[in-house]
Amino acid sequence: MTECAIRTADLTRDFGSLRAVDALSLEVPAGAIFGFLGPNGSGKTTTIRLLLGLLEPTRGDATVLGLDARSEAAAIRERCGALLEHAGLYERMSAQDNLEFYARVWHLPPGERRARVRELLTGLGLWDRRHEIVGAWSRGMKQKLAVARTLLHRPALVFLDEPTAGLDPVAAAALRDDLTALARREGVTVFLTTHNLAEAEKLCDQVGVIRSGRLLAVGRPEDVRARARRDRMEVTGRGLDARIVDLVKAQPPVESATLADGRLELRVRDGEDTSPLVALLVREGVAIDEVRKGGADLEEAFMALVGTEP
Ligand SMILES: Nc1ncnc2c1ncn2[C@@H]1O[C@H](COP(=O)(O)OP(=O)(O)OP(=O)(O)O)[C@@H](O)[C@H]1O
Ligand SMILES: [Mg+2]
């Protein structure tokens, strides 16, 4: 096993004049659950398609399980599982028959096939309902089955494109728990995309934040959160107005300043001393109630990161 399940260098993909993935350099350690976070259209699905060799990069390289995504795409797809937009389930077949079918597609020997299907259905809490027709199932159950399908052939790496999209919080949590347990037990690396930041924070060892094809931050969720926290500052008090905003904006450490609901929200350059800003506000007659640094959770960190101009 390679120490890195995924490694990209300067990976770039254009669609006409649109740069969907922009010089992405990323390393995902083997065995990690990696969450790729970004708003709609930020390049998450395109990245997965590049990694699976379903799309040619315009520039740059991607190595998946030590295989080159340009020249060894077939081998990558053999060793990886993937859940993309379509769950790929047969609605008129039972859950068990669905998995049996795909196990045959993957050429699992009959004995192992049965054992593997049972193991996965049990692991995802679906074994008792294995004979039910999938078409009648809730979205959450279908999604669990779709995840089971990606794991059938014991891939070293699975790509899950928004696995919990459209699930209610309870179903999402159930899928998350089962997925984590299964992934840990089998040592599989998981590359998943999500819009749900609380989810990424609970589920992922590492997250990458992407916007307009560019990787803005990568690391443990708590580190990404801490990074954005350092950059953000919020001031409440009386006397905050447009003049103050303009004044503050002109200060060197300030990258942006906005007034929202009477609160002055600032982004400051990483590591800069902010006490002169507070002194300036006092000098200009602002009666400060509170100065708060940073956001409380990954959601705020994410908004702070993706909310900045490129
Ligand atoms: N085949 C294609 N042809 C042209 N443009 C494309 C194609 N695929 C993706 N794009 C564009 O590339 C950009 C990134 O799309 P992508 O699907 O990777 O985003 P995403 O982060 O997965 O978004 P979402 O969260 O909505 O799924 C978008 O602007 C999209 O319109
Ligand atoms: Mg997508």
Q: Quick: pLDDT tens for 256-288.
A: 899 988 899 888 877 678 888 999 999 999 999
Does 18 contact ligand 1 (Cβ within 6 A)?
yes
* Residues 233/251, Cβ–Cβ less than 8 Å: no
The pTM is what? 0.80
User: What spacing in Å lies between the alpha carbon of 39 and ligand 2's midpoint?
Assistant: 9
Q: Is the CB of 267 under 6 A from ligand 1?
A: no
- How many Cα neighbours within 13 Å face the side chain of 94? 12
Give the class (CATH, top level) of 226-306. Answer: alpha beta
Q: What angle do CA 58, 62, 216 make, to 5 degrees?
A: 80
Beta carbons within 10 angstroms of residue 71's beta carbon = 9
Do the domains spanning 4-219 and 226-306 agree at the CATH topology level?
Answer: no
Q: Check residue 1 and give its pLDDT.
A: 44
Q: Superfamily assignment of 4-219 in CATH?
A: P-loop containing nucleotide triphosphate hydrolases (3.40.50.300)
Q: Name the residue ranges covered by the structural domains of the chain.
A: 4-219, 226-306
Contact 229, 301 (CB under 8 A): yes
Residue owning the nearest CA to atom 27 of ligand 1: 40
Q: Whose CA is nearest to atom 12 of ligand 1?
A: 20
Q: 122 CB less than 6 Å from ligand 1?
A: no
Buried b / exposed e across 251-276, counting CB within 10 Å, b at 16+? eebbeebeeeeeebbbbbeeeeebee
pLDDT digit string, tens, across residues 40-95: 899 999 999 999 999 999 999 999 999 999 999 999 999 999 999 877 899 999 99
pLDDT confidence tier of residue 296, bands split at 50, 70 and 90? very low
Between the CA of 17 and the centroid of ligand 2 the distance, in Å, is: 19
Backbone angles phi, psi at 32, to 5 degrees: -85, 155
Q: What does the pLDDT look like over 152-199, one tens digit per residue?
A: 999 999 999 999 888 888 888 888 888 888 889 989 999 999 887 778
Q: How many residues does the chain have?
A: 310
